[in-house]
């Protein structure tokens, strides 16, 4: 499948949601959190690429925290953007029931950004030390990291 075709079929899978071509080989779709699982299931059912990474973006000025799910098929990249309010605790459904290996990415995001993944099979700490202060999320822009 060549890149443009792949992007077209991704666009077709995303009909009904706002999507833009942000770069030549990238398609961005913005979803409400409750639609995430449905869209991901569609992608998996259509065997469109694979989940490459989950990124968090803290946008303090907008008061939102965006979660980006990057899917890749060849050179084509599809990014599902889920904007969430920063406060209180942003939460979204876990996609582990659909893509089991997403768990490590979710765990990482959870501890780094303080995002709650509902129905996640495992939310243990992955990277941060055991004695890390709770409710301090290092990758948030306003995290207070200097010690005592």
Token couple for 47: 């065997």
* 16 is an interface residue for another protein by CB under 8 A: no
- Smallest separation, CB 89 to another protein (Å): 20
- Nearer to another protein by Cβ, of 34 and 125: the residue is 125
142 near another protein, rule: CB under 8 A: no
Q: Residue 57, interface with another protein (CB under 8 A)?
A: yes
Q: Please, which residue, 37 or 143, has the CB nearer to another protein?
A: 143
Q: Please, are residues 58 and 109 in contact by the beta-carbon 8 Å criterion?
A: no
Figure out which of the listed residues 88, 118, 131, 134 binds another protein, where binding follows CB under 8 A: 131
Which of 69, 96, 103, 115 contacts another protein by CB under 8 A? 103
Q: Which of 21, 85, 104, 121: binder of another protein (CB under 8 A)?
A: 104
Which of 88, 100, 135, 148 touches another protein by CB under 8 A?
A: 100
For every residue of the chain, DSSP letters joined together read --HHHHHHHHHHHTTTSEEEEEETTEEEEE--GGGHHHHHHHHHHTT--EEEEEEEEEETTTTEEEEEEEEEETTEEEEEEEEEESSS--EEE--TTT-TTHHHHHHHHHHHH--EEET-S----SSS-TTPPTT--TTSTT---S--
To the nearest whole angstrom, how small is the minimum distance from the Cβ of residue 145 to another protein? 4
For residue 58, give Cα distances in angstroms to 51, 86, 114: 21, 8, 11
Q: Which spans of this chain sit near another protein (rule: CB under 8 A)? A: 3, 22-23, 25-26, 50-53, 55-58, 68, 70, 72, 74-75, 77, 79, 99-101, 103-105, 108, 112, 124-132, 138-139, 141, 143, 145
């Amino acid at each position: 499948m060549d890149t443009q075709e792949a992007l077209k079929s991704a666009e077709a899978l995303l009909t009904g949601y706002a999507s833009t071509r942000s770069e030549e080989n990238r398609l961005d779709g913005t979803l409400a959190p409750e639609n995430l699982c449905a869209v991901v299931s569609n992608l998996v059912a259509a065997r469109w690429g694979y989940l490459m990474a989950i990124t968090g973006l803290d946008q303090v000025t907008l008061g939102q925290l965006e979660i980006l799910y990057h899917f890749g098929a060849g050179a084509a990249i599809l990014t599902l953007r889920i904007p969430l309010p920063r406060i209180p605790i942003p939460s979204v459904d876990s996609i582990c029931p659909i893509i089991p290996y997403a768990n490590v990415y979710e765990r990482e995001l959870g501890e780094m950004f303080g995002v709650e993944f509902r129905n996640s099979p495992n939310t243990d700490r992955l990277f941060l030390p055991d004695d890390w202060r709770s409710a301090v999320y290092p990758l948030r822009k306003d995290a207070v990291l200097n010690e005592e």
